[in-house]
Amino acid sequence: MSKIVVSNKFKRAFRKFTRRNTQLQAKIEKVITKLSEDTFDPALATHKLEGKLADLLGCSCGYDCRIVFAIKTDPKNDKKLIILLDIGIHDEVY
């Protein structure tokens, strides 16, 4: 199981996004849990991004909801960290 690290930008975007789509909050939280358990679960449609986001990954958390994240290794204990960077509709985050 990977540790989830939430960036300040993600926190702001999450609050803004769930304010507009309150029914999505529980679904997004389930997706984040699944992301920590199995980052490449087929249900998440995890994929590498291109262009200015080339070093990052994205996953789906609903019809038009995407999470942008990075995978790093914690230098203290060599555990995998998933750093959540942004959330929103496709055109907002890509």
Query: Would residue 93 count as lying in a domain?
Result: no
Give the residues across from 6 on adjacent strands.
84
Domain of 80, CATH number, reads 3.30.2310.20
pLDDT at site 83:
97
Residue in the structure block whose two tokens are 């300040």: 8
Q: Kindly report whether the global pTM for this prediction surpasses the value 0.95.
A: no
Q: Kindly state whether residue 67 falls inside one of the protein's structural domains.
A: yes
Q: How far is CA 45 from CA 9, 27, 67, in A?
A: 22, 15, 11
Q: Which helix (H) or strand (E) holds 13?
A: helix 8-20
What domain range is 78 assigned to? 3-87
pLDDT above 90: residue 93? no
pLDDT at 68 over 80: yes
Give domain status of residue 92, yes or no: no
Q: Helix, strand or coil for residue 69? A: strand
What proportion of the chain, given as a percentage, has pLDDT over 70? Answer: 100
Integer Cα distance of 94 and 85 in angstroms: 12
75 lies in some domain: yes
Phi first, then psi, for residue 38 (nearest 5°) are: -150, 95
25 belongs to a structural domain: yes
Q: Is the dihedral of CA 6, 44, 34, 26 positive or negative?
A: positive
Measured between its terminal Cα atoms, the distance across the chain in Å is: 27
Number of domains in the chain: 1
Q: Indicate whether 94 belongs to any domain.
A: no
Q: What is the pLDDT of residues 79-89, one digit of tens each?
A: 999 999 999 98
Residue 41 lies in a domain: yes
